[in-house]
Structure 1
Amino acid sequence: MHVVLIISSLSAGGAERVLSSLANHWSKRGHEVTIITLAQSNTPPFYSLAKEIKLKQLGLSNSTTSIPHRLLNIFKRLLTLRKTIKTLSPDVVISFISSMNITTLLASGRLTVPIIVSERTHPVYHKLPPLDTLLRRLLYPKATKVVVQTQSAADYFRPLDNIAVIPNSVSVPPTIAQQHSDVHQIISVGRLIPSKGFNILIQAFSKIVLDFPNMKLTLYGEGEERQTLEKLVADLNLKGRVFLPGLTQNIQAKLAEADLFIFPSHYEGFPNALCEAMATGLPVIASTCSGNVDVIQDGVNGRLFPVGDIEKLTHLMHELIQDTSQRHRLSTEAQKITDRLAEDKIYQMWDDLICNITAPAQ
């Protein structure tokens, strides 16, 4: 079987990581796998790919602000993507992320290949431009399947009858975090963008530093909010206490070195970083946003605070830092997520979906 995966780029990110993992899985099973992106041909993928996987980068990412040039780029993108799909003649096409889903459905109109589109954020909270919202409403019924990550996201697309719910997998990490009597290293992971709520975490951290002078906070990720967050760190006199080292290829090792994980997002499609922290055995505190509440039971395998509530987050940080037994109990329960979302279970859901779609044509 020839599987074609489409995404705008293979930079660091949750959707990119999942797509890369699926590509490696299908390649390992002996399928022909091609990934199409809009990035420049010399752009290396952030996540490792099996050498058998073919990578076609079309060099059509839209960086211009000129309306005529943007329209020309969109038209060229549609024609090039359609031609590429026809040339590859795959058994199934799988597109990731709303904007590329719309582009793929427009480009593949009247082609006979099955098209699966995968939403990677929660559509209630991740607002699209009005035209994209309209196009999604018109085009998603034409997709062979629309894959979402949670039931609440599936509910948004009712009454569509082509919805499939497939959460992300969580692998067993090579190293489990050691539980210490004291908390010295708090960690969080995600793109440095407003929806991740890192400004809330930094402000909450500023309220506890005097009580815990040896504690540090590290935020792994990169994005448009870097300068804003760095200014906030400076304004709160937290230099040397809060660190933003950027991206890392070995986040699991960094998680294993930490004592507490905090995830203050305003919304999530599916909280990959949170799940990885839980799998590593870190006690976690997360906001009550979409995605987070799908994996955390408050007081059982983590703690929850209302989205944006700095005071409640500060209170929970104090509580967990001082309560060693609670941290140990949460850590033990958190690790059970690797059973619930085991890679083989999630891969099997994708395999079954593709098999059911392509079986009549084979």
Structure 2
Amino acid sequence: MQKKQTIDWLFVLPDDLIGGGAQQVLFTIINAFIAEGKNCTIVFLIKKHHYGWEVLENECNIVYLNNTSVYKGFFSAAKHIRTLKKTHHIKHAISSQALINGLLGFLKYVKILKNTKLVLRESTSIFLRFKGFKLLLYKTAYVIGYKQADLIVCQTSLMKEQLLKALPWLNKKNKAVIIPNPVNLDEIDTKSKEVIDFEIENFLVAAGRFIPEKGFDLLIAAFNQLENKNLKLVILGVGTDDEHQKLIDQIASLNLQKRVILYGYVKNVYPIFKKAKLCVVSSRIEGFPNVLLQMMSQNSNVVSTICAGEISNIKGVITCETHDEIALKDAIHKGLENTNDNRTLYFNDYIKSRSIDNFVTTMLNQIND
């Protein structure tokens, strides 16, 4: 019998949209493991749609399953992992999406991933974000999958509190821990020094997927109320055609076509964040917005809604309540008017505390406890 090969870390993701926060975190973790010489395999539930992951193609095994729907991808992923397990010893498996977490837990329950250490990462506040049938679907995934977890990673104390309140039986397992989202300091340093083709001047910037949770409609409405009509608003990101069109229609209805730019996907956001007059996170709800950390690494003027736990405790970030365009407008105005030379120091210290090395060390220690 041929000896099985070893996969140190199996990563399972819904799609290859690297602009998504959960995907960015896993991308950062994968790079860290590759740098340590670990053998990594990445499985996407659907066909290749976006760019960014190709930089890892020579460093690890990347599999795009032949699906156009993420939901169909669950069945394909189960079949692929079952086949993979016949020829490979999978030491660890990790996911950041609740339904995939449920799938991996199920595969461990039916012994396909019997000896695999399972790390499940919470990426959003499921019990605040969803209702009705969709929430029931997620709860089912939790029941099936999370009982098999060796480690459940929560981004903030609020996220852990919400999880344990909704699923009190998890308290007995004592597997849920708080490990803040990591950043790759070396990558930030390198990318921030790159020269990119971006000629827009005198602008505010926001970034993220075009989905309602990101609150770009609120941001556009708030921007429209600012007294300074010479400013531009640049929104970096992509999304579904429907959500993109909603933003286009809103911009047109406010006659802001020359001032609000839906710029699309950008491979390197750091020079743009650095150049901006101010960076904004306008989200209605988040697990924790990774883009906030990226913005803080480049710009001392950062505004954020209190869309996740911990944000109100970050020294130097100007905050406001969610779902409130007036409060957001006032926060932006304050950010544009206020100068605080200490903010850069506050932000640098905070970013350093979230290094990828600290994240990986903490995660591995928790798994091995």
Normalised by the size of structure 2, how large is the TM-score?
Answer: 0.83
For residues 135-146 of structure 1, what are the structure 2 equivalents within 5 Å? Answer: 135-146=141-152
* Change in 2 beyond 3 A, CA 1:311/1:46: same
Per-residue CA deviation, residues 179-213 of structure 1 (Å, 9 max, x unaligned), is: xxxx92111111110011011110011011xx313
Q: Is 1:295–2:311 an aligned residue pair?
A: yes
Q: Which residue of 2 aligns with 1:123?
A: 126
Q: Separation in 1 of the partners of 2:362 and 2:282? A: 30
2:330 maps to which of 315, 336, 339: 315
The CA deviation at 1:60 is: 3.6
Which residue identity is paired with 2:83? K
Q: Which residue of 2 aligns with 1:254?
A: 272
Q: Which runs of 5+ in 2 are unaligned?
A: 1-5, 194-200
The CA deviation at 1:118 is: 1.4
Per-residue CA deviation, residues 18-49 of structure 1 (Å, 9 max, x unaligned), is: 11221121111111111112122x55652432
2:46 maps to which of 33, 39, 60: 39
Q: Separation in 1 of the partners of 2:50 and 2:75? A: 26
The CA deviation at 1:239 is: 1.0
- The answer on whether the counterparts of 1:78 and 1:106 sit within 8 Å (CA) in structure 2 is no
Q: Which residue of 2 aligns with 1:352?
A: 365
Q: Is 1:245–2:263 an aligned residue pair?
A: yes
- The answer on whether the counterparts of 1:121 and 1:269 sit within 8 Å (CA) in structure 2 is yes
* Change in 2 beyond 3 A, CA 1:74/1:344: closer
RMSD: 2.4
Which residue identity is paired with 1:118? R
Which residue identity is paired with 2:321? P
Q: Which residue of 2 aligns with 1:164?
A: 177
- The answer on whether the counterparts of 1:141 and 1:162 sit within 8 Å (CA) in structure 2 is no
Q: Separation in 2 of the partners of 1:54 and 1:227? A: 36
- The answer on whether the counterparts of 1:283 and 1:334 sit within 8 Å (CA) in structure 2 is no
1:27 maps to which of 26, 30, 34: 34
Normalised by the size of structure 1, how large is the TM-score?
Answer: 0.85
* Change in 2 beyond 3 A, CA 1:297/1:148: closer
The CA deviation at 1:137 is: 2.5
Per-residue CA deviation, residues 296-353 of structure 1 (Å, 9 max, x unaligned), is: 437x411111111111222222223233x24x44344233222221232122223334
* Change in 2 beyond 3 A, CA 1:329/1:203: farther
Which residue identity is paired with 2:119? I
Q: Is 1:265–2:283 an aligned residue pair?
A: yes
* Change in 2 beyond 3 A, CA 1:27/1:75: closer
**DSSP-derived class of the 1:124 partner:** helix
Q: Which residue of 2 aligns with 1:113?
A: 116
Q: Which residue of 2 aligns with 1:184?
A: 202
* Change in 2 beyond 3 A, CA 1:54/1:353: farther
- The answer on whether the counterparts of 2:12 and 2:94 sit within 8 Å (CA) in structure 1 is yes
Q: Separation in 2 of the partners of 1:140 and 1:247? A: 34
- The answer on whether the counterparts of 1:60 and 1:77 sit within 8 Å (CA) in structure 2 is no
1:219 maps to which of 235, 242, 248: 235
- How many percent of aligned residue pairs carry the same amino acid? 24
Q: Which residue of 1 aligns with 2:225?
A: 207
- The answer on whether the counterparts of 2:203 and 2:277 sit within 8 Å (CA) in structure 1 is yes
- The answer on whether the counterparts of 2:287 and 2:308 sit within 8 Å (CA) in structure 1 is yes
For residues 50-69 of structure 1, what are the structure 2 equivalents within 5 Å? Answer: 51-62=58-69
Q: Separation in 2 of the partners of 1:255 and 1:272? A: 13
Q: Is 1:330–2:333 an aligned residue pair?
A: no
**DSSP-derived class of the 2:32 partner:** helix
**DSSP-derived class of the 2:90 partner:** coil
Q: Separation in 2 of the partners of 1:317 and 1:17? A: 26
